[in-house]
Chain A
Amino acid sequence: MTVELLWWEGCPSHPEALAELERILREEGVPADVTRVEIEDDEQARRERFPGSPTIRIDGRDIVPPGEGEPYSLTCRVYRRRDGRISPVPDPEDVRDAVRRAA
């Protein structure tokens, strides 16, 4: 399993996203290392199809696929928790589900 965390420094949520991701990988007994990819400019954002920070991909698939037409740019992603709250990081259960699907 390949696990990537794509992040941009203008958004402070990536340490929290990484900690959650690594915790869930441990809890699920998945020995994957997280590859961290820093996105530094708009051109790289387009090339990497980066919809915002943080973006987590497992085996190349975004764990929360962005909406159609979502631009690729240096921005912070807006996630929804399962209780409806807006959050800068994905709901841990969405991360867990994605890990389980890929395992």
Chain B
Amino acid sequence: MIGIGDQAPEFELQDTDGELQAWETPAVVIFTCNHCPYALAWHDRLMQVARDYVDVHFYAINPNDAERYPRDSFEAMRERVRRDEGWPMPYMHDLTQEVARAYGAKTTPDVFVVDSGGALRYRGAPDADYEDEAQNASWLREALDAMLAGEEIERPETDPVGCSVKWRR
């Protein structure tokens, strides 16, 4: 598990197109999934952030045990991206859950912002209220704006809110 200022773990995972996505920074790593209502409620806001910050590399990672949660299977992930006619970020399955463990991901969603030097700069929820679309992922956007401007992030850590990561047994 990493803390603010620590080097973020690098990873290479396969996306829903079958391509290995290499690690590049600055980055936003979003642990998310198909079946969690919190992840689904925040989904559109997070996709819009990825569209708005084109100089940042976004990675969506599904860390859940797909054997117990078939809706989080790789095939279900592919189907979801296909149904959405593509995502503005790769959607990858963390089959071994090693990436989620390395980051200390707790929930879906759980958001990590990494600067160009690879250090963790923000971790937590996208914004204060999954129900309020007007929140517009403001905590994540504030963190990105500050990081890209070379400024200190006012709120570097918030409590992630969502469904617990479904660890393998």
**Cβ–Cβ contact A77 & B37, under 8 A:** yes
Is A78 a contact partner of B35 (Cβ separation < 8 A)?
yes
* In-complex Cβ contact of A73 among B38, B40, B68 (8 A): B68
Tell yes or no: B148 within 8 A of A by CB: no
Question: Residue of B at shortest CB range from A81?
Answer: B131
Q: How far is the CA of A73 from the CA of B40 in the complex (A)?
A: 19
How many A-B Cβ pairs are below 8 Å?
41
Contacts of B68 in A (CB 8 A): 42, 73-74
Query: Which among B38, B131, B133 is the interface contact of A76 at CB below 8 angstroms?
Result: B38
Q: Per-position contact with B for A6-43: 1 when CB-CB < 8 Å, else 0?
A: 00001111000000000000000000000000000010
CB of B92, distance to nearest CB on chain A (Å) = 21
Interchain Cβ contacts under 8 Å between A and B, 12 examples: A42-B68, A73-B69, A74-B68, A75-B69, A76-B35, A76-B38, A76-B163, A86-B37, A87-B37, A88-B37, A88-B41, A88-B130
Q: Does A101 contact B (CB under 8 A)?
A: no
Q: Would you call the interface of chain A mostly helix, strand, loop, or mixed? A: loop
Residue numbers of A with Cβ under 8 A of B are 10-13, 42, 71, 73-79, 85-88
59-80 of chain B: CB within 8 A of chain A: 68-70
Is B161 an interface residue when CB atoms closer than 8 A count as contact? yes
Of residues 151 to 167 in B, which have CB atoms within 8 Å of A's CB atoms? 161-164, 166
Q: A10 CA to B68 CA in the complex, in Å?
A: 14
User: By the criterion CB–CB under 8 Å, are A86 and B35 in contact?
Assistant: no
Would B131 and A85 count as touching, CB distance under 8 A? Answer: yes
Interface string of B26-50 (1 = CB under 8 A from A): 0000000001111011000000000
Tell me, rounded to whole Å, the shortest Cβ–Cβ distance linking B53 to chain A. Answer: 24
Please name all residues of chain B whose beta carbon is closer than 8 Å to the beta carbon of A10 when the two chains form the complex. 163-164, 166
CA distance A11 to B166 in the complex (A): 11
* A12, A75, A85, most chain B CB atoms within 10 A: A75
Central interface residue in A71, A74, A76, A85, by most chain B CB within 10 Å: A76
